[in-house]
Structure 1
Amino acid sequence: MTDTPRAASSGWLGTLLASASFARAFTLVVFATVFSAHAIERTAGRVTYVTIVAGLCVLGVAVMVARRRELSLLRLVPTTVVVFVAWALASIFWSEDPATSFWSWVSMAALAFLAVVIGHVRDTLQTVRALGDVLRVLLAVSLALEVLSGILLDIPFTFLGIQGRIAELGPVQGIFGTRNLLGFVAVMALITFLIEYRTQSVRPGVSVVSVVLAGGLAALSDSPTVVVLALGVGLAVGALALVRHARPERRAGLQLALGALVVIGVFVGYTARHPIIALLGAGTDFSMRVELWNYMVDLLRQNPVQGFGWFGVWDQGQYPFNAINYWLRTDHATGLNAYFDVALQLGWVGLVLFLALGALALGRSWLVAGERRSVVYAWTPLILVTLLIDSMFESFTLTGLGWLMLVLCAVRAGQSRSWREKLDSGTDAAGPGAAGDSGLPHAQGDG
């Protein structure tokens, strides 16, 4: 692997922008910024966060220009991402508040662009290492603030949303604002830290401490969704292990059998939902969510095809969100379900596009992980499983860090097993992946 990839522009600035060191620094800052969004907005204001993201987008454009000879326009962004983002943009024209919808779309497009840049300047192992480094710091800061608030000072840090209840064994929120978001991040961190351990990309001691930190905060978050996520990811790990150790000629049949089991599992889970909810102790929370989803479905009948326009996080003064909160006497900022939220904002067309985005990304990455020898390829499908399962209980996947990770995984999955591979095969030798730090899967080692 070369330390400095081929620069597409002359001069020291082009060399700097095209260097591996700059790509690593850029990736670290993007992850740190997006995953710390709540803390940044609470301490420095929304304008500060927006300014940082805007500055990163400018740098991202510069990086892509400097590396333009390594890139292929045909394989730059998965078609599903482009179509979904385009439909969200089109929804501005029938939104009740076009200005708010437009700026919400700009935020969505900006994070998607940052994910695309990372997907093309870092390979999977490098992405895992960067995310692991960032999450180690953020989770350690979260634990330190919880200890400071709940044990040493015994006062809540209301400006960060920290309730200071760690002495009671939770729930804790860390710097992420809510226990559910902390639990969601902790599960993604566990996957990342375990991949680091298996690939021996960090020292064993660091891996062990990282896993204990993430697992401890996941438990202290006391989030019912963490149990579901852990079960879902655990089953996915077992299924993927079976596929990876199966003989090549038997993999197709095994994949079909696993797909059938997933369908049966979803059906059984739905029919036995009430006992499962009672077992998890989340009956009251789930009843509230079901009531919310019922109202959302009722309102969707007014605009079933196109929805009410893209807003991302709800504008609580805007219809239909204000009507939902008025009827339920609450102040929800999301629909607590990414699929229902997409349907409400972008209609059934948007929901189909969103499902296609997630399903194709998961299918492609799963097939690659089942065939490649390196365990690092398991990271993308496992993160996607986490995102898609969590989307049944939260709307994190539509905005912020969840949306960034979804697009990043889709880009990573689209770099192999895509119909564009055949069309663009002539550029593979000199295109992305020719350099050691290009970011395409075949540039990675199997260590």
Structure 2
Amino acid sequence: MTRPSRPAPLQLASAMLGSPRFSSALTMAAVGLAVIAYAVRQTIGWAGFLAVLCSLVVLALASLASQWKEVGWRALLPISLLVFAAWAGLSILWSEYQWATLGGLAYLAAFTILGVYVALVRDTIQIVRAFGDVLRGILVASIVIEIVAGLLIDTPIHLLGITANLDAGGPIQGLLGTRNQLGIVSVIALVTFGTELRTRSVSRQLSVGSLALAAIMLFFTRSPIAWGILLLVLLAGAVLYGLRRVPSGQRRYWQVATLALFLVVAGVAWGLRGQIVAAFNAGGELNYRLNVWQRVWDLVPVHSLEGWGWIGIWRTEVPPFLVFDTFSPRVPTAALNAYLDVWFQLGLVGVVIFVGLLGLTFVRSWLLASRRRSIVFAWPALVLVVLLISGLSESSILIEFGWLAFVVCSVKAARELSWRNAFDAAKSDGTLPDN
């Protein structure tokens, strides 16, 4: 009697790497590392952090290769994303700091690969669940460490940037390094937990508790930036809620009316910018940003068209970032404005490509959210609202969690609503020739 042959080790490894359970675990690990990148770097250093990041990238590539038959040729990235990445890569040719640009490009590529992996191997509801579980855990850990620092030992934890101000009502930073970053992540958590509640993907008690936790964290950040983002997200959610209930035949007209309303609101906001600036200038925070922006703007004309070269996180030991090292006791690691940061690093060409990438991704996500029956399609659109608005006062959309979340939304929107789908549909209908 012949024994059944055992699967080869390579087949076993492929089966494990391509399994749904492994993909779920790797997705949560990638999102988790991106969210608390600052805390991980502070505790184990850059070397340890990069070792973890590279390990996740290798696992993601291996897992994606084992599932390639299911993913197919549609795994190609959105062209707009490819163009932006290509221009950032080309900047190494004229960069004033080529080795730093090479490192920045590798860093960008690593989080791009992780974002693409998450978008390709997980459904939208699975992505929402993964983000929800990760953000729940991080917010719980953040409030616990804030309680320890602010109430139990009443001592700042300088290693993690925690100022121990919980007893004074904030601001708190949690594991995110700054109150603004914690506030932005808390707003994304509110969107995620709200989506979980509406889709009933977790128990109602867990959803309500998670929403309460995110709201508490947002309150204690005392971040006017995060509160302003929340207000605009609520407005976008209300508009989206109304559009989803408009008959499909009339939706196009209402979309145009929504765009006109947005332009009017933007015009009013510009007219009242002085009052808005005063309202959001908590503790001189905006004055600090204005000073950073002014110094960046002074350097932009030197390489206005092509930029100084991509770097991602600023390295103040290389020129021209040396001028910011003596800027103030608080040394900036970004331009604190994603659009100005891209203009500084990639020039006018880069910012045009970047704005086009953001606009195309948002329009696709918004149309999907207003057309599809499932409420889960509203999650990418509202997360993009958070990322795009936060880009006016932070550069977080360009690195780590912000970039990973954006890539996930961009790839998902492109796979659901792109010219490739239209081409295939036309071909299957016989309106296009086969060759």
Q: TM-score, normalised by structure 2?
A: 0.93
Supply the AA of the counterpart residue of 1:290.
L
Could you tell me whether the CA contact under 8 Å between 2:225 and 2:280 is conserved in 1?
no
Give 1:42's aligned residue. Answer: 42
Q: For the residues of structure 2 that align with 1:328 and 1:178, how far apart are their CA atoms?
A: 17
Q: For the residues of structure 2 that align with 1:340 and 1:281, how far apart are their CA atoms?
A: 20
Give 1:145's aligned residue. Answer: 145
Supply the AA of the counterpart residue of 1:146.
E
Give 2:192's aligned residue. Answer: 192
Q: Report which structure shows greater RCO (CA 8 Å, sep ≥6).
A: 1
TM-superposed deviation, 1:326:
4.4
Equivalences, count? 420
Q: Structure 1 stretch 261-270 or stretch 217-226: which is displaced more?
A: 261-270
Q: For the residues of structure 2 that align with 1:426 and 1:105, how far apart are their CA atoms?
A: 38
1:224 maps to 2:216: no
1:249 maps to 2:242: no
Could you tell me whether the CA contact under 8 Å between 2:147 and 2:166 is conserved in 1?
yes
TM-superposed deviation, 1:260:
1.3
Could you tell me whether the CA contact under 8 Å between 2:281 and 2:287 is conserved in 1?
no
Supply the AA of the counterpart residue of 2:76.
L
Supply the AA of the counterpart residue of 2:183.
G
Supply the AA of the counterpart residue of 2:48.
T
1:21-420 mapped onto 2 (5 Å cutoff): 21-282=21-282, 284-326=284-326, 331-420=331-420
Could you tell me whether the CA contact under 8 Å between 1:186 and 1:217 is conserved in 2?
yes
TM-superposed deviation, 1:319:
2.3
TM-superposed deviation, 1:145:
0.3
Q: For the residues of structure 1 that align with 2:381 and 2:60, how far apart are their CA atoms?
A: 25
Q: For the residues of structure 1 that align with 2:263 and 2:345, how far apart are their CA atoms?
A: 27
1:316 to 1:245, Cα distance in 2 relative to 1, 3 A:
same
Structure 2 SS opposite 1:415: helix
Give 1:438's aligned residue. Answer: none
Structure 1 SS opposite 2:323: helix
Could you tell me whether the CA contact under 8 Å between 2:53 and 2:110 is conserved in 1?
yes
Could you tell me whether the CA contact under 8 Å between 1:292 and 1:328 is conserved in 2?
no
TM-superposed deviation, 1:381:
0.3
Q: For the residues of structure 2 that align with 1:63 and 1:41, how far apart are their CA atoms?
A: 26
Q: For the residues of structure 2 that align with 1:271 and 1:315, how far apart are their CA atoms?
A: 37
Supply the AA of the counterpart residue of 1:268.
V
Q: For the residues of structure 1 that align with 2:282 and 2:261, how far apart are their CA atoms?
A: 26
Could you tell me whether the CA contact under 8 Å between 1:96 and 1:309 is conserved in 2?
yes
Q: For the residues of structure 1 that align with 2:317 and 2:282, how far apart are their CA atoms?
A: 29
Supply the AA of the counterpart residue of 1:401.
F
Q: For the residues of structure 2 that align with 1:241 and 1:396, how far apart are their CA atoms?
A: 28
TM-superposed deviation, 1:75:
4.4
Q: Structure 1 stretch 171-180 or stretch 414-423: which is displaced more?
A: 414-423
Runs (4+) of structure 1 exceeding 6 A deviation are none
TM-superposed deviation, 1:72:
2.9
Structure 2: runs of 5+ lacking an equivalent: 1-8, 429-435
Q: TM-score, normalised by structure 1?
A: 0.91
